[in-house]
Amino acid sequence: MRTLLIAATLAATAFTSTNFANAADFRQYPGFKDKDSFVEMTNDMGLIVEITLRCGKRANGKVKAGIMTYSKVERLYCSSQNRCYRDALKAADQTCGD
């Protein structure tokens, strides 16, 4: 399910930008509308999409977040630990510490 959410968010980003030059600094906030969304925010910076994830809640009620990236050229998802995969779920799990 999380892979589907990440893929859908990236697909929506790809359809809204016509080329790399127009995509600079384009942001989406799917987590603003859906408080249970796994993807908090995407930041399209041209060749790289930065994906902010909601990894879970801490004991004090604050949300634990993680940041992973997607390379449009290499088509790789990279975790916050600088390990890259073709599968978004592997990068997300490593970023969130699962």
Helix axis angle, 2-16 to 88-96, nearest 10°:
110
pLDDT in tens, the chain (98 residues): 566 567 666 665 554 444 444 545 667 777 777 777 888 889 988 899 999 998 887 778 777 889 999 999 999 999 999 999 999 999 999 999 85
pLDDT at 16: 47
For residue 78, the surrounding DSSP H or E stretch is strand 76-78
The amino acid at 36: D
Quick one: pLDDT at residue 85?
A: 95
CA distances from 76 to 25, 32, 34, 63 (A): 20, 26, 26, 26
> In this predicted structure, what is the pLDDT of residue 18?
46
Backbone angles phi, psi at 46, to 5 degrees: 105, -100
| pLDDT value, residue 13 | 54
